[in-house]
Amino acid sequence: MLSPEKNKLLTEVGPGTAMGDYLRRYWHPVAGVSEFDDKAVRPIRLFGEDLVLYKDLSGHYGLVQRRCPHRNADLAFGIVEQCGLRCAYHGWEFGRDGACTHQPFEEIVDPQARLRQKTRITAYEVRAKAGLLWAYMGPLPAPQLPDWEPFSYEHGFAQVVMAEIPCNWFQCQENSIDPVHFEWTHNNWTARQQDAGAAYVPTHLKAAYEEFEHGFVYKRLRAAETEENVMWTVGRVTLWPNGFYLGHHFEWRVPIDDENTLSVFWVFNRVPKEQEPYVQPRIPTWYGPLYDENGDWITSHVANQDFAAWVGQGRITDRSKETLGASDRGIVMMRRKFFEELEAVAGGAVPKGLITDPAKNERVFLPSACREEMLTGLTREALTAHPLLGPYLHDFFGQAGQPDEVREAYEQAVGQKMRGAKFFTVHGAGEAETS
Ligand code: FES
Ligand SMILES: [Fe+2]
């Protein structure tokens, strides 16, 4: 349980708020590189600010305020130039750094361009990496954009999967340190949606949480598993401050504003050994729906099950009405860490896990329960039998709405057809107990 004041501290992300300013000290994935294959400009809202993201004619990306400072026209209608963006209303042009570089009519009347020199717009740095576009909205100089090791894994098919979630970011991130929900939300709920009499899966017996430089590691042990299981020996990473890393994919929960969150998945599947060498020509990006054609929540896929759970907690969940239990130990640790961090950073400390030294930003290691397999690859037979990776060979169970062209590109990469199942058996659903 938290007081309303403390809940505000965790959940308010607009400019000038403690958490908003804290999160802005990190790079955030905000779009896919491939989104700009066929368009040059799009609006985007981040941390309560309306912005436009664009790719100029020289191939560089920019992120600037959405309203033109002349008479407030929408720069989402802007014209990209060699270096920057021009307002489509009267032609004022702005560089990627926010400087006004051209005011066509004003400069004819006043060749000294005095007004232009005084005009600036808000601009943030954007970089492309791993098929994602990353934004940095904090004070300069920017820290390193993390070069997480999986970004250089080879012989794999990566995809960027997005969704806009109508709830606050923090309840999404609490899910990154919540092992027990896996058993209920992803195993038992899936089973019971198909068969009201289905047996429940083996329950959690214990969970452990450890802090490290880039977040927390959580470990779980379920009935029918031994302490040799990778979920107990290695576990999963609650990636600081707003990510989740599971060895074969990352998830980030990027605040759009206090009441909306951009869910970003970067999923990497190494192809079977038989398909190597494989070089992916293009990392696709797609946005998945939350609702089906009847307006009902989609609850078949793993991420959609999570989305329904998070949004179900309320737009900004009221933590003064919680009843925390033993399964919430990680969540309590994470909240406490955020409160400590907000205080420490207000006193001048460097935020947790920020990488500032380029020499320390090469293939940055994160614990992973399938690292070896990702580095060396598996035959089709071994991959099929792999408890964590095998299911990906048959279905994209991560999130609903994968476009046909992405599925087809994936099928070509892995050398087999997908099954097109409606529901999925994911890790932990193996040995059912009687209910
Ligand atoms: S409103 Fe943008 S140039 Fe006039
Ligand atoms: Fe989940």
* Domain boundaries, given as residue ranges, for the chain: 28-136, 149-414
Query: What's the CA-to-centroid distance between 108 and ligand 1, angstroms?
Result: 16
Q: Does the beta carbon of 71 sit less than 6 angstroms from any atom of ligand 1?
A: yes
Confidence of residue 435 (pLDDT cuts 50, 70, 90): very low
Average pLDDT over residues 16-43: 98
pLDDT beyond 70 at 154? yes
- pLDDT-above-70 percentage for the chain: 99
Q: Does the beta carbon of 102 sit less than 6 angstroms from any atom of ligand 1?
A: no
What is the 3-class SS of the chain, one letter each residue? CCCHHHHHHHHCCCCCCHHHHHHCCCEEEEEEHHHHHCCCEEEEEECCEEEEEEECCCCCEEEEECECCCCCCEHHHCEEECCEEECCCCCCEECCCCEEEECHHHHHHCCCCHHHHHCECCEEEEEEECCEEEEECCCCCCCCCCCEHHHHCCCEEEEEEEEEECCCHHHHHHHHHCHHHHHHHHHHHHHHHHCCCCCCCCCEEEEEEEEECCEEEEEEEECCCCCCCHHHHCCEEEECCCEEECCCEEEEEEEEECCEEEEEEEEEEECCHHHCCCCCCCCCEEECCCECCCCCECCCCHHHHHHHHHHHCCCCCCHHHCCCCHHHHHHHHHHHHHHHHHHHHHCCCCCCCCCCCHHHCCCECCCCCCHHHHHHCCCHHHHHHCCCCHHHHCCCCCCCCCCHHHHHHHHHHHCCCCCCCCCCCCCCCCCCCCC
Residue with the smallest CA separation from ligand 1 atom 4 is: 90
Are the C-beta atoms of 271 and 157 separated by less than 8 Å? yes
Confidence of residue 422 (pLDDT cuts 50, 70, 90): confident
Q: Does the beta carbon of 88 sit less than 6 angstroms from any atom of ligand 1?
A: no
CATH of 149-414, one of 2.60.40, 3.90.380, 1.20.120, 3.10.450: 3.90.380
Convert the pLDDT of each residue in 170-220 to its tens digit.
Answer: 999 999 999 999 999 999 999 999 999 999 999 999 999 999 999 999 999
Query: What's the CA-to-centroid distance between 73 and ligand 1, angstroms?
Result: 6
pLDDT beyond 70 at 26? yes
Q: Does the beta carbon of 94 sit less than 6 angstroms from any atom of ligand 1?
A: no
Convert the pLDDT of each residue in 315-325 to its tens digit.
Answer: 999 999 999 99
Q: Does the beta carbon of 90 sit less than 6 angstroms from any atom of ligand 1?
A: yes
Convert the pLDDT of each residue in 207-261 to its tens digit.
Answer: 999 999 999 999 999 998 999 999 999 999 999 999 999 999 999 999 999 999 9
Confidence of residue 426 (pLDDT cuts 50, 70, 90): confident
Ligand having the closest approach to the CA of 78 = 1
Q: Does the beta carbon of 113 sit less than 6 angstroms from any atom of ligand 1?
A: no
Confidence of residue 425 (pLDDT cuts 50, 70, 90): confident
Average pLDDT over residues 80-91: 98
Residue with the smallest CA separation from ligand 1 atom 3 is: 90
**What pLDDT sits at residue 433?**
39
pLDDT beyond 60 at 431? no
**What pLDDT sits at residue 1?**
85
Q: Does the beta carbon of 39 sit less than 6 angstroms from any atom of ligand 1?
A: no
Q: Which CATH class is domain 28-136?
A: mainly beta
Average pLDDT over residues 161-166: 98
Query: What's the CA-to-centroid distance between 182 and ligand 2, angstroms?
Result: 6
Query: What's the CA-to-centroid distance between 109 and ligand 2, angstroms?
Result: 60
Q: Does the beta carbon of 87 sit less than 6 angstroms from any atom of ligand 1?
A: yes
